[in-house]
Amino acid sequence: MDPNLLYWKSQGQSFLSRLKIWVSLLSPASLLSSDAEILKAHAALGSAEKPEKDAPALTLSLSSVHADSGAVLPLVFRPPAFFPVSAPLVIASFLPHTKVKVALFWQFLLQSYTAGFNYANRSSSSEQGQKTRLKDLLLIAGTVSYTTCAGALPQILTNRLSIRSATIQTFFRSILPIPLSAALAFFNVFTVRSEESESGIQVFDSNGNPVGISKAAGEKAVRETALSRAALFGTTAAVPNLLILLLQRTRPFQRNSLLAAPVRHITVAFVLGLMIPVSFSLFPQLGTIKKENLEEELQAAAVDGHLLYHRGL
């Protein structure tokens, strides 16, 4: 078992412990390290008896190395880069655009980045030694195309139907994007990582020894990650939109409607920054699946009543 997973096994089984770890891992400072420094830290983590004593190497390894392949993650798809890269895309995508082309442009950038992040941080234990296949590229392209169009649906409907009612416009621009953002985030993960459900992922016994490939574990890993991403984007859409609706009833905002834009931008960035470590912590990185939920050929290996699997991110 990879040193990163061994650490998550010993330290990341409660929500609060995972949250504390992710808050430290998401510091952008680790993005300044070279690939050689990251691999050295990962190797040092594997040889150390108590890796938590070497905090810098631990942080660098957990935040920059894929736990299945042991390879360094692409810079923009490392967890510490998620907020700096996605924040401006999320802010721009959540704006109530009046032009469809502008909405499609920002949705395309956001959905492309999240699809790439989901793919780079997937559980790839059943794909070791395989290069990115044409099927994967087509699946990503299809996912991005669909979610881009669906994400711009409120603007498309408002323009196509020539809606003039203030109440209906408020629904399409402030209410509909909340469930839509959560649903698209779920769909993005679910489709980009569908290979894990179809082919399965590596499962381990309680000692960290690999015992086989499980489709049931793959389905559970994808479902958990999709739910965590839906919580991230759904909450990030909900809080600013509902806050603006409430503030628009106050006198300062009624007198000066321009106040809504900076408040929306700041709130989106603030909520996104808070929700990223929370969503990453909702489910363990090293998850467990009960014996009765496993395939028959793997149940004998679950001597403790469960097996372990790498969920991905």
pLDDT digits (tens, 9 = 90+) for 74-125: 999 999 999 999 999 999 998 888 888 999 999 999 999 999 999 999 987 7
Q: For residue 141, which of 198, 192, 193, 86 has the smallest C-alpha distance?
A: 192
How many CB atoms sit inside 10 A of residue 102's CB? 14
pTM of the model as a whole:
0.92
At residue 145, the pLDDT reads 94
Least confident range from 17-21, 36-40, 250-254, 269-273: namely 250-254
For the chain, the structural domain boundaries read 3-310
pLDDT(174) > 70:
yes
DSSP tag of 279: H
At residue 128, the pLDDT reads 57
Please count the CA atoms within 13 angstroms of the CA of 160 that sit on its side-chain side: 9
Confidence band, pLDDT 50/70/90 cuts, at residue 295: confident
Mean pLDDT within 219-240:
95
pLDDT(131) > 80:
no
Mean pLDDT within 1-26:
88
3-state secondary structure of 203: strand
Mean pLDDT within 126-130:
60
Task: Give the C-alpha separation, 268 to 239, whole Å.
Answer: 8
At residue 126, the pLDDT reads 66
Task: Give the C-alpha separation, 172 to 132, whole Å.
Answer: 38
